[in-house]
Amino acid sequence: MEALTSCLILAGSLVALSGLQGRATRSVLLMHQYAAAYQVADRQLTLIDRMGVDAFIEQEIDEGEDEQEGVKYYWSVASELEGIDALYTLEVTVRWQSMGRAHAVRLDTRLNGKTTTVVLDAGQEV
């Protein structure tokens, strides 16, 4: 009887440990996906910074798709001119589906475009 009880306790413990391992594995997978989503957003911001925010806005490409390790990440960029010379606020959002749920990350930043201020020879701004 004691052996049967011990076996039942051991079996119950193994089932509980198995469930914990499954949740831990899913958490690690999701963390990798969040890291990949941030990389997609960072790549878009780097591209915008290199080409210039004005040139990026003129192209009118404000969304796209990137696939990594079998997961499709959908990115979008929203831009708004702040009204302070050529200062833009940019918001990059990356969305994806995983484990039956929708996930998203968002990065916000400000970048300067081409200045609209003209400096005269005497050092005066117009």
What would the mean pLDDT of 58-75 be, rounded to a whole number? 91
Nearest to 72 by CA among 64, 80, 83, 81: 64
Alpha helices in the chain (DSSP H): 2-51, 53-59
Q: Return the pLDDT at 19.
A: 67
Q: Return the pLDDT at 10.
A: 66
| Dist. CA 69–CA 80, nearest whole Å | 33
Q: Return the pLDDT at 117.
A: 59
The pTM score is 0.72
Note the pLDDT tens digit of each residue in 83-92. Answer: 888 899 999 9
Q: Return the pLDDT at 84.
A: 81
Res. 13: pLDDT tops 60: yes
Nearest to 70 by CA among 32, 42, 106: 32
The domain limits of the chain are: 2-112
Backbone angles phi, psi at 50, to 5 degrees: -70, -40
Cβ atoms < 10 Å from Cβ of 68: 15
Q: Return the pLDDT at 21.
A: 67
Average model confidence (pLDDT) across the chain: 83
Res. 125: pLDDT tops 80: no
